[in-house]
Structure 1
């Protein structure tokens, strides 16, 4: 199916690996021109035709730096995919291992800087171009935003705030032609789950359990109806559909294999 994205432009935050890298590849395959920002430029990203920008997006000036570079490269932005997240596995693991009393303010601040403020700042910087081009903002959230106690609590709360931000963008800028959509993955077969030094492995080690056994136990506890992880390619295809011309805005699309049972 032709998604009518050929010739359009996109900015993807956190496009060096995982879901972000697959989004970059998918949008390029649809004929888009893509600029992506991340702290490191991986070999996988270098192998694409995207324009990589090395930038720390968790800093106050990082998102605007990326958007300025993208505007210089692309001339304008049709789609902004706010995808960056997770970061250091040990940082995220704190939110799963510590309770509300013990999790320090610094952890909450770091998590919100990366998972909420990055999206807010990138969106604000891109809005003039998005308004001009009647563009689309796609916020990559998490099924955890609906299951805030089942995982890293600071991460899940930050993602819940990101979901609310999508609604605000859609409502405030819809009359000017800007759409905003949330895509919320559940467990995905990225390094977060599979790497020996990823988040799941880190939590498993803290609990004295083998990585594979803990991952299987956690999947069973989450109760995915499909019984499997989603793939980055599946998430990327949903994001590409959301970016395509349509009349969807303010909506949340779960891609979690049925982890979230409520409507």
Structure 2
């Protein structure tokens, strides 16, 4: 299938690793001129050939730095992928163990980064009749006891996508959401990451814990999702092949969510 993206420009947030990095790789392979926003320049991101803007997107100034830099580099923005999220301090904390400082950090990074980046990019997206994909999570549909703030933030991201689709669809901008389940990224596999914290709480070694996830999470396909599979879905939704899809929330979780 030809996605016809080779004339497009794109901004991808959280581009240094995981789903963001996979999305940059997928879009550049399709011929898209990509600006990746990240706090750090990883060797893997540098190898993609994308133009990188270093910025902390949990801040107002960081968003301005990214979008101003993208407009200067690209001349205009056709596509936006709001992927940045989770955060280094994501932990499986319940409501009473989540203080206001943690709530603020999680909301700034997972929700307000999407709000601010979309607002800054929309004038160009409207002019070019572009598309946005927001990366949410199945946590928005299956909120567990923890991480409570992350689940709430992602539920808000999903709702925001539908509101943006409704408001800006008549002006030519399509907005969709992708909600992954467990994805093979550093969030789960890093010895200091969220997955490691869950494993420690379960009294298990990380490698053994990761092998047990498909059964423990009732993943129908028997495996966790790969980052490039999520990136492929994002690229499809950004393309003209999906030109009449807007306001949708696509779950990619191997069948973890059992309800409609």
Task: Give the TM-score band, short-chain normalised.
Answer: over 0.9
Unmatched runs of 5 consecutive residues or more in structure 2: none
For 2:123, the equivalent position in structure 1 comes to: 128
Q: Is the 8 A contact 1:144 1:151 kept in 2?
A: no
Alignment partner for residue 250 of structure 1, among 244, 247, 250? 247
Q: Kindly provide the CA deviation profile for residues 43-82 of structure 1, in whole angstroms up to 9, marking residues without a partner as x.
A: 0011111001111111122112101100000000000000
* Secondary structure of the structure 1 residue equivalent to 2:199: helix
- 5 Å matches for 1:155-194? 155-194=150-189
For 2:18, the equivalent position in structure 1 comes to: 18
* Secondary structure of the structure 2 residue equivalent to 1:101: helix
The whole-number CA distance in structure 2 between the counterparts of 1:241 and 1:151 is 32
Q: Is the 8 A contact 2:136 2:179 kept in 1?
A: yes
- 5 Å matches for 1:145-164? 145-149=140-144, 151-164=146-159
The whole-number CA distance in structure 2 between the counterparts of 1:20 and 1:150 is 27
Unmatched runs of 5 consecutive residues or more in structure 1: none
Pair 1:227 & 2:222 matched? yes
Q: CA RMSD in A?
A: 1.2
Q: Is the 8 A contact 1:144 1:150 kept in 2?
A: no
The whole-number CA distance in structure 1 between the counterparts of 2:146 and 2:50 is 33
- TM-score in terms of structure 2 length: 0.96
Q: Is the 8 A contact 1:79 1:136 kept in 2?
A: yes
For 1:53, the equivalent position in structure 2 comes to: 53
Q: Is the 8 A contact 2:78 2:125 kept in 1?
A: yes
CA displacement at 1:193 relative to structure 2: 1.7
User: Which deviates more from structure 2 when the two are superposed, residues 199-208 or residues 2-11?
Assistant: 199-208
CA displacement at 1:115 relative to structure 2: 0.4
Pair 1:41 & 2:36 matched? no
CA displacement at 1:221 relative to structure 2: 2.4
For 1:84, the equivalent position in structure 2 comes to: 84
For 2:204, the equivalent position in structure 1 comes to: 209
- TM-score in terms of structure 1 length: 0.95
Q: In 2 relative to 1, CA 203–141 (structure 1 residues): closer, same or farther, beyond 3 Å?
A: same
User: Which deviates more from structure 2 when the two are superposed, residues 192-201 or residues 226-235?
Assistant: 192-201
Pair 1:241 & 2:241 matched? no
Pair 1:102 & 2:100 matched? no
User: Which deviates more from structure 2 when the two are superposed, residues 234-243 or residues 217-226?
Assistant: 217-226
For 2:69, the equivalent position in structure 1 comes to: 69
* Secondary structure of the structure 2 residue equivalent to 1:254: strand
Q: Kindly provide the CA deviation profile for residues 184-225 of structure 1, in whole angstroms up to 9, marking residues without a partner as x.
A: 111111111222222111232244321123333443221110
- Structure 1 stretches of at least 4 aligned residues deviating more than 3 Å after TM superposition: 216-219
For 1:9, the equivalent position in structure 2 comes to: 9
Q: Is the 8 A contact 2:95 2:146 kept in 1?
A: no
